Amino acid sequence: MGEVDPAFIQATEHRPKFNNIEVDGIPLIDLSLSETRNIDQLVSEIGNACKNWGFFQVINHGVPLELWTRMKEVAKSFFDQPIEVKRKVKRDEVNAMGYHDSEHTKNVRDWKEVFDFLLQDPSFVPASPEPEDKEIRKLTNQWPENPPEFRAICQEYALEVEKLSYKLLELISLSLGLPADRLNGYFKDHTAMLRLNYYPPCPCPDLALGVGRHKDASALTVLAQDDVGGLQVKRKSDGEWIPVKPIPNTFIINVGDTIQVWSNELYESVEHRVVVNSEKERFSIPTFFFPSHYVMVKPLEELVNEQNPAKYKEYNFGKFFVARNRSDYKKLRVENIQIDHFKISN
């Protein structure tokens, strides 16, 4: 079996120890290692969670708790501003980063406001999803003037979550029987994006969702949520919607479409949604860990053989991402591309 960065082991081995348990069925995994808990055990738990759920929570992850607290504070300060102030950094069809809300997107189903920014600024994506179009588009962040510490705190948090994302990629790679760094090269110029979600109290929670049912196009999504909760996961075994109970100082991890393809469906991207609350506001911060725009995504050759042939055709991640983004923005009349479009029929 491959190896994980020794610095990761040293950084976790002295933290409080927890047994691997399940909360409402969602696995809770301790990322720390010790003399009685080795890397093989951790890798096995990660693999089982990816295979059986597509979701898990992690503790002893290395991201400081106080950083999450500061992120929530600056997010609240930003979203508490008047709408005309927030819309000074609104996203549009030209600039995909910044602020938007359900009114701006004409998507009344989703009861929320968001602010998006790139972990690598600038990032590059194809100008369009058309196969013959070779033009590349530069995406840059928009930062609000207030609160004044907003940008610095967001960038500090993003750096820590990026480190965690690489650790999780290594553990997932090991769980597939591959070298720890097998997937790292796909993220050299990654297009990862972080989103601040604000869900105001909803007067009619039975008529709206914070986010409708969906799957993520990312390789991984790393989510921090506050103590209000609202995330629900569709359980693979019976299709029931299972709430993910908030646990202090944990991250919720889910496998995205990209890893579903790389693993040739050994691991599956699972549907999830967010319900709203009639009394309390809610904050969450997902980080979508996307590959570089030029990466061609297909089942990894090590996982394909005569008994387990490739289940997907190769596709360009950047063009896939742009097509997904265009279909979501203002519900434009373009095809909503999903990975099923690349599925090979048997």
pLDDT tens digits, one per residue of 121-136:
999 999 988 888 889 9
Alpha-helical runs (H) found in the chain: 6-12, 39-52, 65-79, 83-86, 102-105, 150-175, 257-262, 317-328
- Please check whether residue 50 lies inside any domain of the structure: no
13 falls within a domain = no
Which tokens sit at 144? 């609000």
* Contacts of residue 198, Cβ cutoff 8 Å, sequence gap at least 6: 75, 76, 79, 112, 113, 114, 281, 282, 283
Query: Considering the entire predicted model, what is its pTM?
Result: 0.88
Confidence check: pLDDT of 345 > 90: no
Task: Decide if 178 is inside a domain.
Answer: yes
How large is the average pLDDT for residues 215-223?
A: 96
CATH number, domain containing residue 319:
2.60.120.330
* Residue 321 CA: distances (Å) to CA of 63, 156, 210, 267: 28, 26, 22, 20
Residue 42 is predicted with a pLDDT of 97
Please tell me the predicted confidence (pLDDT) of residue 24.
52
* 28-42, 144-158, 201-215, 304-318: segment of lowest average pLDDT: 201-215
pLDDT, mean of residues 104-123 = 79
How many structural domains does the chain have? 1
Residue 303: φ, ψ to 5°: -105, 5
- pLDDT of 333 > 80? The answer is no
Q: Residue 206 — very low, low, confident or very high, per pLDDT cuts 50/70/90?
A: confident
- Mean pLDDT, residues 250-262 taken together: 97
The 3-state DSSP class for residue 177 equals: coil
Domain presence at residue 59: no
Please tell me the least confidently modeled range out of 25-39, 66-80, 107-121, 274-288: 107-121
Question: What three-state secondary structure class fits 180?
Answer: coil
The pLDDT of residue 328 is 53
pLDDT at 147: 97
In a domain, 8, yes or no: no
Q: What's the whole-number average pLDDT of the chain?
A: 87
> Which domain range does residue 150 map to?
65-342
Q: Is the pLDDT of residue 217 over 90?
A: yes
pLDDT at 336 (0 to 100) = 52
Kindly report, residue by residue over 118-172, the tens digit of the pLDDT. 999 999 999 988 888 889 999 999 999 999 999 999 999 999 999 999 999 999 9
Categorize the per-residue pLDDT at 28 as very low, low, confident or very high, splitting at 50, 70 and 90: very high
In this structure, is residue 41 part of a structural domain?
no
Q: How far apart are CA 133 and CA 182, in angstroms?
A: 30
In the predicted model, what is the mean pLDDT of residues 94-114?
A: 74
pLDDT classification of 20: cutoffs 50, 70, 90:
very low
Structure tokens at 269: 């991207």
For residues 311-327, b (16+ Cβ closer than 10 Å) or e, as one string? bbeebbbbbbbbbbebb
- Confirm whether 25 is domain-assigned: no
Asked if residue 167 belongs to a domain, the reply is yes
Q: What are the structure tokens assigned to 262, written together? A: 């790389």
Amino acid identity at 247: I
State the DSSP code for 20: -
* CB 211, CB 273: distance < 8 Å: yes
